[in-house]
Amino acid sequence: MDKLKKILKRYAGSKYVLTLAVFGAWLVFFDNANIVSWLSDLTDVKSKRKQKIYYQKEIQHIKENIKELSENTESLEKYARENLYFKNDDEDVYIIEEDEE
């Protein structure tokens, strides 16, 4: 503890240490490219990369579905019946919605 007090007394009056401290505070808090905004931007970039990967997987999945629907008429009919509620003229469609709790 005594060593720390001696070091602080030795450098406390130094104009270089004061200048360095002010410069450091300026870089951390007040500059346009400060560390706080840099860290925030870094987190945004990581989030956007995760979103990019997610959407690339979704696009691949949709392309596979389109390929399957364009090649197979049975799967196209199944998709139209399940998702778009298409029906034949002699059929009735009943939509049963489940309660989400």
HSE at residue 26, side-chain half, CA atoms within 13 A, is 6
Q: Is residue 77 part of a domain?
A: yes
Global pTM?
0.54
Decide which of 32 and 79 is more confident. Answer: 79
Range of the domain at 78: 34-87
Percent of the chain with pLDDT over 70: 92
Among 90, 60, 66, 61, CA closest to 79: 66
Q: Does one domain contain both 59 and 82? A: yes
Q: Is residue 98 part of a domain?
A: no
Whether the pLDDT of residue 65 is over 80: the answer is yes
For the chain, give the number of residues.
Answer: 101
Longest distance between any two alpha carbons in the chain, whole Å: 97
- What angle separates helix 73-83 from helix 35-71, to the nearest 10 degrees? 120
Q: Is residue 66 part of a domain?
A: yes
Q: Is residue 70 part of a domain?
A: yes
Domain tally, the chain? 2
Q: Does one domain contain both 63 and 45? A: yes
